[in-house]
Structure formats: C-alpha cells, structure tokens
Amino acid sequence: MLIKKIILPSDDNRWKLINATMKRHGYQPNSLIETLHTVQETFGYLDEISLKFVALTLKVPLSSVYGVATFYNFFNLKPQGKHTCVVCLGTACYIKGTNVIAEEIKKEFKLSMGKTTESGNLSLLSARCLGACGIAPAIVIDGEVHGNVSVEKTLEVLRRHENDN
Ligand code: FES
C-alpha cells in the first residue's frame, strides 16, 4: 500500500483535523469542497496557507482551489467581524435595489466588499442568490435572512452592530 507523506503547515493541531477530512476521502480531489468546509469551520476562514496546503495535498491546481473558494459565498477568505452582513446581489435582489443598499453601507461604514470595519464589529459580504428571491431584496445579518429590506432599515440595524462594544 502506498503511504502518503503529508507535511502539515505547522504543529497547530487544527491541521490534523483538516488532514483527517482529506484522509477519510482517500485524498481524492473531489473532496475539495468538504475539505474547505473543514478549514473554514476550524479556522473561521480560508487563508492562503490553507488553500495552498489543500491544493498540494489533494493535487488540485491552486487556481481551481481559489476558484471554488471564491465561487461559493459560504467560504470566507478573510477573518470575519463580530457581525456580518451579506447583501444578495443576485438578479432578483439587484433589480429591487440591493446594489443601492450595498453602496450606502460601503459609504456609511467606509467599507468595501469582503472587508471588516476598523472596529472589527462589522463585515460586509455579498452573495449571488440566497435562495430567498420571493422576499427580494434580501440580506443576511448574523445568519438571519431579512426580506423586503430598505436602505434605512438596513443602516439602522448595522449602525447598532457597528457601535456594539
Ligand atoms: S437573488 Fe437574492 S435571494 Fe435570490
């Protein structure tokens, strides 16, 4: 039997968990998404080191790993703030004004997509569709879907979160 020698990025025990996921799947490239889920659950987000480690171990080109990590909105490439706001920019929401909501959030909190405010209290992310088109425009704040949102209502909630100490 071929024994695969895996070199973990550091002696942080969390890498063992990630390796265990890949091992369980026989280090098959098709375990990529599940492995990235484990990375995110373990570290909270996917950084360059983890993406490289997974790419190398599963023998998947790094570009493909980045492709998957950036395509699915449930993966984060950056550490998240205390509160998270995901603005849906899918077609149904976009035509009902989420692009305007996103712009107002950026302006008010001096944020860009995927970034966190200086206080570390608020992260802004976007999604392609939340599967809630019937209540468009939709956003998710701290994991809870809000439908038929307005700019003012959204800013009001986010102001509270940003000032949360
Ligand atoms: S487009 Fe926003 S929920 Fe589907």
Q: Is the CB of 91 under 6 A from ligand 1?
A: yes
The matching CATH number, chosen from 3.40.50.10540, 3.40.50.150, 3.40.30.10, 3.10.20.30, for 83-162 is 3.40.30.10
Q: Kindly report, residue by residue over 87-116, the tens digit of the pLDDT.
A: 989 899 999 999 999 999 999 999 998 788
Reduced to 3 states (helix: H, G, I; strand: E, B; else coil), residue 59 is coil
pLDDT of residue 43: 77
Q: Is the CB of 90 under 6 A from ligand 1?
A: yes
* Mutation to probe ligand 1, out of 125, 126, 130 (largest number of atoms < 8 A from CB): 130
Q: Is 148 in the pocket of ligand 1 (CB under 6 A)?
A: no
- 99 CA → ligand 1 middle, Å: 12
- What residue spans define the domains of the chain? 14-71, 83-162
* 78: helix, strand or coil: coil
pTM for the structure as a whole: 0.62
Residue 4 confidence class, pLDDT cut points 50, 70, 90: low
Helical H segments across the chain, by residue range: 14-24, 32-43, 48-58, 62-71, 91-93, 99-109, 151-162
